[in-house]
Amino acid sequence: MNRNVFAVLSAAVGLFLVSGLTFAHHSNAVIDKDNATTVTGTVTRLHFANPHPAFYFDADVKDSQGKGVNWFAAGGGGVISLRQVGWTNKTLKPGDRILVQGHQMKDGRPLMGFRRLYRCSGEAVPLGYDPGNESEYTTRIKWEPISPERVRELCAKGTLEGAMKPKL
């Protein structure tokens, strides 16, 4: 009897610990879920791996010193759900022009959790989940799709909207 109780308790504790690790990477405490940031730029690198893909891109808009800013964005579904909607490790290649919408870090660094992604041709890039049906845990904004014409317009002029400035 004591062995069975010990086995059940051990299994319960183990499951509890594993479930905590499973959801640990989803902390949204550092992103500004109340504001949207839209940035256009050129992909420099893609990291297509779990828990979510991430990419670096050079923004079209320069900082206050006139220097280019390299952004980091991570998000979308996991690799399996992205493969199901057509992603590969070649979905974004260095040199690809993109428009990214998401939540920037609260401290103003050029890092974001992306919620929508477009090619500058106007094509929406699928993210492996429905960004219009997200919980308040991930965002407090209702993300509306951008028309292909508007994407092309924003890319043509180079856009940085809603970004917070870092305190230097």
For 87-137, write each residue's pLDDT tens digit: 888 999 999 999 999 989 888 889 998 889 999 999 999 887 765 555 554
The amino acid at residue 90 is K
Measured distance CA(133)–CA(131) in Å, rounded: 5
16-40 per-position pLDDT tens digit: 444 334 444 556 677 777 888 899 9
Domain boundaries, the chain: 26-161
- What percentage of residues in the chain have a pLDDT greater than 90? 34
User: CATH fold of 26-161, please?
Assistant: OB fold (Dihydrolipoamide Acetyltransferase, E2P) (2.40.50)
pTM for the predicted model, two decimal places: 0.77
Q: Which helix (H) or strand (E) holds 152?
A: helix 148-157
